[in-house]
Every structure is written in structure tokens, then in C-alpha cells.
């Protein structure tokens, strides 16, 4: 007998997103920006985050929100609560003298490599801004709604969702389903409390303060007044004992008070408002995609909070996936483009997990370090945040060593697979170029040109590439071709005097093709290629079309790409 549900109309959506926290909402906002506004995001809670949790936003993440138009609002909110120059410190107790600094000023040295800084903004403060932005731009967010079950077939996913308040169920048919539904279990514990810690903090610390003493290993995150924040407890009690590894297990207010007092190191009045146990896990899912279902954020990889990589990595997953989904759904790329999400993000997630694991052990759980514990050597923060690299068929063959996942972003030379390096650009006035009347506009950071579609950045003598790009666009419009529109820019001659060509290892006759997520897809030194007889082997337009068809997965892959490291469960 058919159930009521079988007779109900099925709700159709191109993409169903499960979980409307940082990652799910960012994905829905990015999809809306790329023209896929009618996707549905469901969230079992009735509102956005009610606890601060994530707060440290990395420069790459801030580039993504700058692209979305949220940067100024986030900055204004952040600086109300945190210092621009907040740092990461190490102390024995809050009341004692500091004995170490992991990062004195979170933004030192970033100016040359990123248009955006790191900043602190709690999830609780940030998510309402993101929600407002996403819905204003057409994203459909449905709170108090949970995923009950789903099946997939070759064409898509059929899911059942339930309204938690009324119990009403609804079937949803989607072409893709993205699980951004997080990851939960218990081991560490966050102690949320009210106290006035201003006398220990003002003019001294702000940001993250790692605490390491006989009673507790973990960290405080306090705002600049010292009146808002929490204490994360990773291990507590006698180091090396089994109990010390499970500080959240059966924790009482009394025990939490002892730990908090030991972390403060002075007699201070406080009121504990919440004990929130969670599991200190550093792990990566074996796969990020099974046909029409994909994982992003904590659902795909989980790390401890050390260095604030959890949410940032998830947001960057969403950024990698959104434009690929949009192009495939719009018929402007082959289906295989979606598979490059796992090929690109899995190695980055694995590297991040291994790096965070090292930070976790060294900063707050030294007693877990044994001789046979495998740990990577720590690499600097900017390498992980801005220097990670992709290897997949959504890029042309790269000169990067295969298997290299992260390197110093300040030495990158715009090879395929690297992030387009921060630089100021002088481009020509587009109206003047056909007449040869080249005028410099004001310099703008390269980030201003990125984020919407493919960008073809041509040297100031690269007339052939400019023509090739424009001709592909013209034909696409008139003949209904499937290639996405290229945004073609020619550098102003003034740039020749600047460091840009050197930074991008590009000639004035060459060009660089940058993907919608700001990664270099291809770069060419000169417009035409000679064969052995000196004839033009491939005209620029044919060459460019060849490249685009290959990286958009319209033509068969030229070589196989895969992840580099085996998945390791760390804890």
C-alpha cells in the first residue's frame, strides 16, 4: 500500500546540502553566487551556532569571504571583540608569566602573500552574517529539518527529510547531495564560563593561550576584554594516566571548576555555563565522493582545534566544490569535473590532519608522545594556509613535483596547481585595446579579478592570447557552445616595470589561465607553437580551446591523477 509520502509531490532541487553550519552555509552561498540559487540546505537545529567554537579564520578563508562580499562586515565584527594583532601564546597558568609564543601577531608577514589577514570571529558571531548573506542572495536554508534517509541512482539522489517540529516528512530529489553534517564524539571537553579575567589578559594576551601544567593541558580563547571565552581541556590530571586522556568523561561541574582554577592559576570567581565534551580526532574519510553523494567539512575530515584548521579546511572544500558543481549543472563542464574535488581536496585534508596532529601533541598533549608515534615535522602556517597545491585533471600537467602538497607560498611561480599568488595588477582599459590605445587603470589586487569564472590574464604584448580568449567567448555566445565565458584581461605596459612577470614567471607575450577558485590552471609563455618545420603547430585559439576542453573534462583524461598519501587514523 502506498504511504502518504509516496503520493506527495517530490521537491526537486539541483543540490541538497545536509547541515547548515559554517561549511554547509558557505557552500549554499557560493552556489548562489555561481548561479545555482535554488539548492536546498537543511539543518536539524532551529538556528545557527549557539556556542563560539571556531574563531580563527585563515587568510585563504578570508579571501573566500572577500569574494562573497562578506569581508568588511566580518572585519568590523571581529575587531569589536578581538585585537587585530591577536596572537597564539603558551602559559603555565593564566596568572603566571608567559613562557612561550606560538605566534605573537597572527598577521605578521602576511601582507606580501595575501590580500586578506587572519582574524578571530567566533562561529556564533559569524554564522548570522553568513545566513543573512546566503538568503539575501537566493540560498534556501531550512532549519529544524533533518535528513532521515536517502538512496542514490545514476541520475541523482532521493532523500527523505523531516520537519523536527511537526514530524512532517517530505521527499526531495536532487542531482547531488553534499553531506556537511559534521562529526561528533567525546574525549576532550570545552568549559564555557563567565568570569572577569581582564586583569590577566589586558595588554598581555589576546587570541589563543595554550595552557600546560600538571593539572591541565589545553587552551583558553578569550576576547580582548577577558570576559568572553572558554577553556578547552585536551588532557587533565596526572600526565600519562588513562584518565588524563578522557577529561570529558563523566565530568561534573565540581571537577570542571578544579580544572578551570588550575588553568587560571589564581583565585577568581567564575560561573560554569556549559560543559561540552567532544572528541580529539585527527582523521580523514577514505573517500569524499560516492557517485552523487559528496562529503565536505568535518564530515570529510576532523582535526583538533590546534591552529584552527577544522572550519577553514571545510570552507575551502566548499569553495573547491561550488564552482565545479555549478559548471556541471549548467552543462558547461563534463561530469568528471566533480571527481576532481576528491582528487584535489583529499591530499590537502590528509596533510592538514597530519600537521594538526603534530600541533596537538606538541602544544597540549606532550604526554601522548611515544617513540613509535609517527609524526610529521611541523611546516609553517602559511605553507598550509596558502601554499597547498592540487594535482588533478582539472589542471594542465604541472611542473610541480608529483606528491608535493604544500610549500612556501612566497616562492610560488604560478605553476598549474598553485594558488594564484597575491600581486597588484595594472590592467588595460578593455575598451581601448582594439585601437591600440592602452591605458593603465589603478592597480588592484589579483584577488579582485578572481572568484567568478575562468580568468585569462595576458601579458602586455600577448595580443594573440587576448584575441584567442575573446574569439572563444564570441563563438560561445553565437554558436551556443558549451564553454564557460572567459574573463580576459591584458596587463598594462606599466606592469613591465613591476615585479609581476617575475612573480608569475611569465613573459609579456604569455598568459596565465586561472580557475574560478583562484588556482592556476595553465600557463603559456608565447602564443604560438612551432613544429619542427617552423610552421605554427597550433593557433592560439585552438590551443586555448584544447586546454579548456581538457580541464573542463570534456575530453578524456591525458594521464591519471590520484591522492598521494595513505589515510591514517591518528587518534
Ligand X SMILES: Cc1cc2nc3c(=O)[nH]c(=O)nc-3n(C[C@H](O)[C@H](O)[C@H](O)COP(=O)(O)OP(=O)(O)OC[C@H]3O[C@@H](n4cnc5c(N)ncnc54)[C@H](O)[C@@H]3O)c2cc1C
Nearer to ligand X by C-beta: 87 or 310?
310
Distances (CA, A) of 97 to 91, 200, 288, 419: 7, 10, 45, 40
Are 236 and 215 within 8 A, CB to CB? yes
Q: CA–CA separation, 545 vs 483, rounded Å?
A: 9
Kindly state the smallest distance separating residue 439's Cβ from ligand X, in Å: 43
Residues that bind ligand X (CB under 6 A): 18-19, 21-24, 42-45, 53-56, 146-147, 180-182, 190, 232, 278, 297-299, 305, 308, 310-312, 314
Nearer to ligand X by C-beta: 382 or 469?
382
Kindly state the smallest distance separating residue 26's Cβ from ligand X, in Å: 8
Nearer to ligand X by C-beta: 356 or 423?
356
Nearer to ligand X by C-beta: 53 or 246?
53
Cβ burial, residue 371 (10 Å; 0-12/13-18/19+): exposed
Are 389 and 451 within 8 A, CB to CB? no
Kindly state the smallest distance separating residue 18's Cβ from ligand X, in Å: 5
Are 215 and 262 within 8 A, CB to CB? yes
Q: Which residues contact 160 (CB under 8 A, 6 or more apart)?
A: 5, 147, 148, 149, 150, 169, 170, 171, 172
The dihedrals phi and psi of 315, each to the nearest 5 degrees, come to -65, -35
Closest CA to 376 of 400, 405, 408, 402: 405
Q: What are residue 169's DSSP bridge partners?
A: 162
3-class secondary structure, 324: helix
Distances (CA, A) of 221 to 88, 200, 232, 306: 9, 13, 8, 11
Cα Rg of the chain, angstroms: 25
Kindly state the smallest distance separating residue 102's Cβ from ligand X, in Å: 13
Nearer to ligand X by C-beta: 145 or 428?
145
Nearer to ligand X by C-beta: 56 or 361?
56
Nearer to ligand X by C-beta: 380 or 525?
380
Nearer to ligand X by C-beta: 53 or 490?
53
Kindly state the smallest distance separating residue 515's Cβ from ligand X, in Å: 23
Q: What is the 3-state secondary structure (H, E, C) of 196-232?
A: CCHHHHCCCCCEEEEEECCCEEEEEEECCCCCCEEEE
Nearer to ligand X by C-beta: 140 or 503?
140
Amino acid at each position: 500500500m502506498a504511504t502518504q509520502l509516496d503520493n506527495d509531490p517530490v521537491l526537486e532541487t539541483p543540490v541538497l546540502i545536509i547541515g547548515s553550519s559554517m561549511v554547509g552555509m558557505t557552500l549554499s552561498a557560493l552556489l548562489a553566487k555561481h548561479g545555482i540559487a535554488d539548492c536546498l540546505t537543511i539543518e536539524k537545529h532551529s538556528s545557527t551556532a549557539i556556542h563560539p567554537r571556531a574563531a580563527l579564520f585563515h587568510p585563504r578563508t578570508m579571501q573566500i569571504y572577500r569574494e562573497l562580499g562578506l569581508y568588511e562586515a566580518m572585519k568590523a565584527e571581529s575587531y569589536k571583540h578581538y585585537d587585530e594583532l591577536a596572537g597564539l601564546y603558551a602559559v603555565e597558568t593564566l596568572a603566571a608569566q608567559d613562557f612561550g609564543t606560538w605566534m605573537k601577531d597572527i598577521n605578521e608577514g602576511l601582507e606580501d602573500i595575501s590580500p586578506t589577514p587572519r582574524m578571530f570571529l567566533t562561529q556564533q558571531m559569524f554564522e548570522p552574517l553568513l545566513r543573512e548573506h546566503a538568503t539575501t542572495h537566493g540560498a534556501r536554508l531550512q532549519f529544524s529539518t533533518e535528513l532521515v534517509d536517502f538512496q542514490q541512482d545514476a541520475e541523482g539522489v532521493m532523500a527523505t527529510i523531516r520537519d523536527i517540529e511537526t514530524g512532517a516528512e517530505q521527499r526531495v530529489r536532487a542531482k547531488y547531495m553534499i553531506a556537511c553534517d559534521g562529526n561528533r564524539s567525546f574525549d576532550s571537553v570545552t568549559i564555557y564560563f563567565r568570569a572577569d579575567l581582564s586583569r590577566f589578559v589586558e595588554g598581555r594576551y589576546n587570541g589563543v593561550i595554550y595552557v600546560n601544567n600538571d593539572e591541565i593541558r589545553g587552551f583558553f580563547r578569550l576576547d580582548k576584554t577577558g570576559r568572553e571565552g572558554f577553556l578547552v581541556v585536551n588532557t587533565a590530571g596526572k600526565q600519562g594516566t588513562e584518565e588524563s586522556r578522557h577529561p570529558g568523561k563523566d565530568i561534573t561541574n565540581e571537577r570542571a571548576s578544579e580544572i578551570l582554577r588550575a588553568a587560571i592559576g589564581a583565585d577568581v570567581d567564575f560561573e560554569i555555563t556549559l560543559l561540552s565534551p567532544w572528541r580529539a580526532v585527527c582523521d580523514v574519510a577514505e573517500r569524499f565522493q560516492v557517485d552523487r553523494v559528496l562529503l565536505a567539512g568535518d564530515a570529510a575530515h576532523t582535526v583538533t582545534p590546534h591552529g584552527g584548521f577544522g572550519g577553514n579546511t571545510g570552507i575551502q572544500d566548499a569553495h573547491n566544490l561550488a564552482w565545479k558543481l555549478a559548471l556541471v549543472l549548467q552543462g558547461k563542464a563534463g561530469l568528471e569535473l566533480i571527481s576532481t574535488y576528491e582528487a584535489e581536496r583529499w591530499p590537502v585534508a590528509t596533510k592538514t590532519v597530519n600537521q594538526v596532529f603534530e600541533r596537538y601533541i606538541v602544544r597540549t598533549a606532550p604526554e601522548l608522545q611515544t617513540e613509535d608515534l609517527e609524526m610529521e615535522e611541523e611546516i609553517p602556517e602559511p605553507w598550509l594556509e596558502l601554499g597547498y597545491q592540487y594535482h588533478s585533471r582539472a589542471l594542465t600537467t604541472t611542473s610541480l613535483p608529483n606528491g608535493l602538497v604544500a610549500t612556501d607560498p612566497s616562492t610560488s611561480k604560478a605553476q598549474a596547481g598553485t594558488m594564484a599568488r597575491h600581486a597588484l595588477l595594472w590592467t588595460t582599459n578593455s575598451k581601448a585595446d582594439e585601437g591600440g590605445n592602452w591605458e593603465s587603470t589603478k592597480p588592484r589586487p589579483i584577488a579582485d579579478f578572481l572568484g567568478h569564472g575562468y580568468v585569462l590574464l595576458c601579458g602586455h604584448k600577448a595580443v594573440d592570447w587576448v584575441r584567442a580568449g575573446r574569439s572563444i567567448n564570441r563563438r560561445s555566445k553565437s554558436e551556443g557552445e558549451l564553454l564557460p565565458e572567459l574573463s580576459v584581461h591584458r596587463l598594462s605596459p606599466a606592469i613591465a616595470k613591476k615585479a609581476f612577470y617575475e612573480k608569475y614567471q611569465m613573459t609579456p607575450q604569455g598568459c596565465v589561465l586561472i580557475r574560478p577558485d583562484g588556482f592556476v590552471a595553465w600557463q603559456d609563455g608565447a602564443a604560438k607553437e612551432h613544429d619542427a618545420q617552423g610552421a605554427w603547430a597550433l593557433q592560439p585559439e585552438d590551443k586555448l580551446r584544447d586546454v579548456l576542453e581538457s580541464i573542463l573534462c570534456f575530453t578524456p583524461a591525458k594521464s591519471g591523477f590520484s591522492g598521494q598519501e595513505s589515510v591514517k587514523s591518528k587518534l
